[in-house]
Structure 1
Amino acid sequence: MGGMTVTDPLIQHGSRPWTIDDLADLPEGNRYELLGGSLLVSPPADNFHCRTSQDLTDVLKRGAPKDLYVAGSGFGVGFPDAGTYYVPDVIVFQRSALGRRAKSVKPADVLLVVEVLSPSNAGRDLVMKRYDYAAARIPQYWIVDQDGQAITVLELDASGQHYEESIVVKAGERLVTDQPFPIDFDPAEVF
C-alpha cells in the first residue's frame, strides 16, 4: 500500500474549517499553516533558507534575556478566533508561555516574528502575515530578503494595529535596536 500524499487529507477532511488539532494528522515533511480555517501547505525550505533562519536564531539567542525564548521553526502562533495559525521562521516570545500545554503560542506572548522570504510564498509573508501579525499586535515583524541581502524591520504604528517600516538594513551595515531586547549585528552574519 502506498504512502499518504498531501492531497489525501485534503480530500478526507470534508467541508468544515481546518483547526490546529487537524494538523497533527497530516504527513510530515511540509510546513502546514492555517488562514481562516483554510489549509496552507508549503514545501520544505531549501538549505539556503534553513541556514539563514538558523544563523539568525543563533544571533538573537546570543543577546536574549532569560525571560525571553528565541526559537527557529517549530513554534506556531495561533489566532484561534480567526482559525489562523502561522509558523514563523524565527520567533521571540515570553519564556513563561512554555509552561502551558498548548499547540501554539498566543500572540500576546510574542515580541518578534521573522519570516525569511521564499519564492514560493513571498506573498504570504509580505501581505497576509504582515496584516495578521499586526492585527494581533505583535510588536515587531522582520522580513529577511536573502536575494537582496537585507532585513526590513516593521514596528506597530501609533494605532497599534498596522506595521510601518522602521528601517531596512543591508549586509555590511549594522542592525541596532533595543526591541525586543538590545540587538546589534551585521546582517551579513546570516546571509
Structure 2
Amino acid sequence: MSAQTMPDRERWSGWVTFAWLLAILACIGGVALISIAGYVELPRQNSFGRIETAKEPNVFIWAIAIGQAVSAAMLAALFSMINSIYQNSCDQMAGVDFRESEPDLGQYSAAVEGEKVEPSNIESGYKGLKVISVHRASPLSGLIKEGFVLISINKKPALTELDAAKAVVKGKNIIEFLNSESVRQAYAIRMEPGPLHIKFET
C-alpha cells in the first residue's frame, strides 16, 4: 500500500494526550475540592456534657472528587488502548502489499475492456466447456450463449467449471470461446472474482 493511501498512524495521538491532560486536571481538581470542602465541623457533646465541634470527612465531596478522578483516568486509559490497537493495525497494513496481481495476458495486455480481440493462435489439446445455459446473474451473460464452448479465461484452459471460475481476476479478463458456428473468438471484459453462473455440459 502506498504512503498516500496508508492511514495516518498518529491520527488519534492528540486525542489521547488530551484525555490524559483531562485526567490529570481531574485529579488536581479532586485534591483541591477535598482540601476546600472535604471536611465539615459537626457539633458533638463531650463526656462532660459540653457541646463542641469535631471535624469529619464530607463523604459526598470525597465521593465526587475520587469518582471524577477515577473516571477521567479510566477514559484516558481506554483512549490509549484503542489508539494502541489502531497503531498496531497501521503497522501491520504497512507491511502488506494490497496491490492485486494481474495475469500475464501477453498479446492481450493492451486490450480495452469490452472490445473484441484476436483469439490466440496457439492450438490447444483440449475442447473446452460446452455451455448448456447461462444465468442472468452471470458476468458473461450476453457474451457467452447456449451452444458456445468456453476455451479459456486469461489464457488459462477452462478444463472444469472450477478452473474457469478460479481464473477470473478483478478487472480486465480475456475470454476465449467458440461460438455456435465454431468460430474462435476472444473478448476483453471487466469482471469480479466469483462464480460464473453458467451450466456446462459434463
Using the size of structure 2 for normalisation, the TM-score is: 0.20
The structure whose residues are more often strand, as a share, is 1
Using the size of structure 1 for normalisation, the TM-score is: 0.21
Rg comparison, structure with higher value? 2
